[in-house]
């Protein structure tokens, strides 16, 4: 078998198609029994000892010299992911035109279900994008592919990303209105419709003794949204509470308020996510606050065009997983709210 470089591409001849492509899913057929290999695939075959060298203008490259020749900013991370998935029993193809029929523009690999390979067009398990731990990724680009992050020691962490449909059944039908008193970064309602707290789940009573409650404390986000709806009256009205919100939270306030209002419109009850390091935790159903289930999601509100490091993604997702919740990122763009959910993935 001859293995050589041709115009920057690795070509393997002889019985390469039968040995590598048909039997084990490496490369892509070209002419006769020859196949084309990407540098990552060729490096993996060198590492395994399936090929001994790659020839280029009279020079026989071993693994070290071949990697030195082809290495680029993405090569090390892609090779680490390729080695890991192969060791788990997966066949995978580089996301290239003519190699695979359909793939996401951001994907590096198309990964097939175990026991399947490139000839099984309907057997794709993952569209996989590869990142190094120090690369940033735009949150808005997530949702239609999976992530593989290679850390500096070559260990791989996988994430599933998606565009979630966030809906719920929390009622916002109130049997009256409330009057509030603005105190620093919160509002106290001394008289309020009981349905505001239970079952709509706004605020927290200062005293809660079952059937007896006294004083409902609202976050400034909750209060601003209720004033905008005409449910809550405050001296100075909506302008005053928004000004107060901006003074205590800065530019974060407006986007958090818009996302809070959007969640409420979808029948979801957002509450503070402070203890989890997030903006909100959310409940899609509240029959009674005295018999409250676990919140389902943690919402982190981020700026438009937000880029995040994989280590921060890992921290957020691990925290959410540890408390049995999904990690969701939310942002506002052109007055529209977008969400992305991330979960740990074990291929």
Question: Does residue 329 have an active-site annotation?
Answer: no
Question: Does residue 55 have an active-site annotation?
Answer: no
What does the pLDDT read at residue 211?
A: 59
| Residues in contact with 168: Cβ distance below 8 Å, sequence separation at least 6, in sequence order | 266, 267, 268, 269, 282, 283, 284, 285
Max CA-CA distance within the chain?
89
Is 206 among the domain residues?
Answer: no
271-288 burial, b at 16+ Cβ within 10 Å, e below that, comes to: bebeebebbbbbbbebee
In tens digits, what is the pLDDT along the chain, a chain of 347 residues? 899 998 878 999 999 999 999 999 999 999 889 999 999 999 999 999 999 999 998 899 999 999 999 888 899 999 999 999 999 999 999 999 888 888 889 999 999 999 888 887 778 999 999 999 999 999 999 998 999 999 999 999 999 999 999 999 998 888 899 999 999 999 999 989 999 999 999 999 988 766 556 789 999 999 999 999 999 999 999 999 999 999 999 999 999 999 999 999 999 999 999 999 999 999 999 999 988 889 999 999 999 999 999 999 999 999 999 999 999 999 999 889 999 999 999 99
Contact between 233 and 179 (Cβ < 8 Å): yes
Alpha carbon distance 48, 175 (integer Å): 72
Tell me which residue range forms the domain holding 67. 3-162
Alpha carbon distance 100, 250 (integer Å): 48
Alpha carbon distance 12, 1 (integer Å): 7
Q: Please, which residues bridge with residue 174 across strands?
A: none
Alpha carbon distance 62, 53 (integer Å): 5
- Cα 274 to chain centroid, rounded: 20
| Residues in contact with 135: Cβ distance below 8 Å, sequence separation at least 6, in sequence order | 309, 310
Is 45 among the domain residues?
Answer: yes
Is 169 among the domain residues?
Answer: no
What does the pLDDT read at residue 90?
A: 95
Is 302 among the domain residues?
Answer: no
Question: Does residue 275 have an active-site annotation?
Answer: no
Find the catalytic residue in 283, 306, 321, 343: 283
User: How many domains does the chain divide into?
Assistant: 1
Is 222 among the domain residues?
Answer: no
Number of CB atoms found within 10 A of residue 13's CB: 16
Nearest CA to 179 out of 213, 216, 149, 126 is that of 216
Is 136 among the domain residues?
Answer: yes
Find the catalytic residue in 294, 306, 321, 343: 294
Alpha carbon distance 145, 105 (integer Å): 10
Nearest CA to 78 out of 141, 2, 135 is that of 135
| Domain containing residue 139: CATH number | 3.40.1350.150
Is 23 among the domain residues?
Answer: yes
Contact between 322 and 191 (Cβ < 8 Å): no
Helices (H), the chain: 16, 23-24, 39-48, 63-70, 75-87, 220-229, 237-249, 252-265, 310-322
Note if the pTM is more than 0.75. yes
Query: What is the DSSP pairing of strand 35-37 with strand 28-29?
Result: antiparallel
Find the catalytic residue in 21, 260, 325, 329: 325
φ and ψ of 212, to 5 deg: -110, 120
What does the pLDDT read at residue 346?
A: 95
What does the pLDDT read at residue 57?
A: 86
Is 167 among the domain residues?
Answer: no
What does the pLDDT read at residue 212?
A: 55
What does the pLDDT read at residue 23?
A: 92
Contact between 178 and 190 (Cβ < 8 Å): no
């Amino acid at each position: 078998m001859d293995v050589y470089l041709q115009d920057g591409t690795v070509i393997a001849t002889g019985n390469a198609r039968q040995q590598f492509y048909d039997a084990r899913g490496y490369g892509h057929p070209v002419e006769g029994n020859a196949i084309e290999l990407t540098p990552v695939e060729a490096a993996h075959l060198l590492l395994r000892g399936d090929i001994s060298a790659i020839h280029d203008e009279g020079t026989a490259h071993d693994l070290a010299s071949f990697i030195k020749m082809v290495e680029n900013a993405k090569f090390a991370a892609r090779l680490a992911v390729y080695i890991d998935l192969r060791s788990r029993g997966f066949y995978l193809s580089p996301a290239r035109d003519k190699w695979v029929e359909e793939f996401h523009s951001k994907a590096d690999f198309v990964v097939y279900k175990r026991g399947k390979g490139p000839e099984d067009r309907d057997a794709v398990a993952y569209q996989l994008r590869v990142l190094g731990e120090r690369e940033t990724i735009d949150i808005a680009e997530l949702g239609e592919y999976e992530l593989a992050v290679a850390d500096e020691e070559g260990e791989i962490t996988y994430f599933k990303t998606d565009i979630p449909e966030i809906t719920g059944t929390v009622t916002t039908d109130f049997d009256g209105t409330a009057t509030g008193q603005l105190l620093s970064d919160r509002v106290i309602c001394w008289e309020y419709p009981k349905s505001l707290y239970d079952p709509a789940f706004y605020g927290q009573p200062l005293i809660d003794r079952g059937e007896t409650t006294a004083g409902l404390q609202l976050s400034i986000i909750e209060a601003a949204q209720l004033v905008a709806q005409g449910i809550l009256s405050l001296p100075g009205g909506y302008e005053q509470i928004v000004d107060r919100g901006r003074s205590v939270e800065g530019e974060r306030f407006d986007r958090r308020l818009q996302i809070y209002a959007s969640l409420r419109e979808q029948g979801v009850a957002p509450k503070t996510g402070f203890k989890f390091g997030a903006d909100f935790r959310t409940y899609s159903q509240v029959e009674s606050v005295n018999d409250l289930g676990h919140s389902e999601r943690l919402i982190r509100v981020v700026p438009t065009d937000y880029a995040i490091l994989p280590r921060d993604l890992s921290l957020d997702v691990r925290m959410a997983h540890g408390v049995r919740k999904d990690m969701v990122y939310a942002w506002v763009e052109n007055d529209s709210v977008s969400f992305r959910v991330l979960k740990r993935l074990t291929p």
